[in-house]
């Protein structure tokens, strides 16, 4: 059987798979900036969680530098407003504030009307199946894909209850190729890819910000959040300079990282990306969205370091399907 010849568009553009991982995923913006600056076009994006969110902004036609400006304008107070616990069933956060934020920028665009190919990955909470969202309201697709279990409540879509796509596919390079062809470039920011040590350490300014937050008058009405912050601040003060202990939360996070790594490895053994980029974002916590500048810079560095390979992919008639020696 002869290999299918690439169309002119496929020979001169890339398909991106943008992975999940929370705030470290803002590195996707830096990768997109470098691609644009070097006239490397992207014709489609498949995204999981934060990758679905960044991909939605890019596919909507928003200039990448405008997206970078929005991300870098975020401070820790705005981050807190998005993730303010309102204790719905199924998560600490209902996601209402997140949807308001997304709709303020993305409006009511439909996926099938976008100029760029786009799909978001979610998980059917009841069946456990992967759900590839390729039609309908763009914000709804993002909201479903970012429903981090235990943090953001699942999202109702028709007869399904959807949760974060990272549960079944943290880095959807296989979906990207199946839907849009190649060459496929994957950007990995999931826990196992970014954390070479088991747990990122808090940013040096975190204790100061936490104390400022505890001094806010409205904090008296959020007793659960106050208790959590006081506990975290106490643990940070007590354990400063010490090796982190294996708390229940840390064990669960590590188990999740191991599971994600195995999912990515198994999927790559069957249908790997043509190039895997792994930004150095292990120092950024999952909800530290106020550290966009650091994350974007990390994305730029990894894209610039791999620029020769990115350019080479545009000029190959048959992208190499090789399993990397070590999957994150």
Q: Which of 124, 164, 274, 294 is catalytic?
A: 164
Residues 53, 319 contacting (CB under 8 angstroms): no
Q: Is 156 a catalytic residue?
A: no
Residues 125, 161 contacting (CB under 8 angstroms): yes
Residue 321 to residue 273: CA distance in whole angstroms: 7
Q: At what angle do helices 27-37 and 292-305 cross, to 10 degrees?
A: 50
Residue 266 to residue 124: CA distance in whole angstroms: 20
Torsion-angle region of 136 (φ positive above 0: left; ψ -120 to 50: alpha; else: beta): left
Residues 129, 123 contacting (CB under 8 angstroms): yes
Residues 129, 111 contacting (CB under 8 angstroms): no
Residue 183 to residue 259: CA distance in whole angstroms: 27
Q: Is 49 a catalytic residue?
A: yes
- Decide: residue 36, CB within 10 A, 0-12 exposed, 13-18 middle, 19+ buried: middle
Residue 113 to residue 286: CA distance in whole angstroms: 31
Find the angle CA(59)-CA(64)-CA(67) to the nearest 5 degrees: 95
Q: Which of 13, 49, 60, 145 is catalytic?
A: 49
Residue 6 to residue 149: CA distance in whole angstroms: 39
Residues with a known catalytic role = 49, 164
């Amino acid at each position: 059987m002869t290999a299918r010849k690439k169309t002119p568009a496929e020979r001169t553009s890339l398909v991106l798979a943008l992975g999940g991982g929370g705030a470290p995923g803002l590195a996707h913006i830096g990768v997109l900036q470098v691609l644009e600056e070097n006239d490397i076009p992207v014709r489609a994006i498949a995204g999981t969680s934060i990758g679905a969110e960044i991909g939605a902004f890019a596919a909507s036609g928003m200039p990448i530098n405008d997206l970078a400006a929005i991300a870098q304008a975020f401070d820790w107070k705005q981050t807190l407003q998005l993730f303010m616990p309102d204790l719905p069933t199924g998560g600490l956060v209902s996601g209402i504030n997140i949807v308001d934020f997304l709709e303020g920028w993305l409006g009511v665009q439909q996926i099938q009307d976008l100029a760029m190919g786009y799909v978001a990955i979610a998980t059917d909470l009841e069946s456990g199946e992967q759900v590839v969202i390729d039609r309908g309201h763009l914000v709804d697709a993002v909201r479903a894909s970012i429903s981090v279990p235990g943090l953001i409540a699942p999202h109702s879509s028709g007869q399904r209850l959807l949760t974060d796509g990272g549960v079944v596919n943290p880095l959807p390079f296989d979906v990207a190729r199946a839907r849009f062809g190649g060459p496929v470039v994957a950007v990995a920011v999931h826990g196992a890819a970014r954390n070479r040590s088991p747990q990122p350490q808090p940013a040096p300014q975190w204790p100061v910000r936490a104390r400022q937050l505890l001094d806010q008058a409205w904090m008296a009405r959020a007793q659960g959040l106050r208790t959590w912050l006081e506990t975290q601040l106490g643990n940070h003060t007590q354990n400063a300079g010490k090796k982190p202990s294996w708390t229940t939360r840390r064990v669960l996070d590590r188990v999740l990282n191991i599971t994600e790594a195995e999912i990515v490895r198994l999927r790559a053994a069957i249908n790997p990306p043509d190039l895997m980029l792994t930004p150095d974002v292990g120092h950024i916590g999952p909800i530290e969205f106020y550290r966009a500048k650091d994350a974007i810079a990390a994305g730029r560095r990894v894209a610039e370091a791999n620029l020769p390979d990115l350019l080479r992919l545009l000029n190959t008639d048959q992208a190499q399907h090789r399993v990397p020696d070590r999957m994150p």
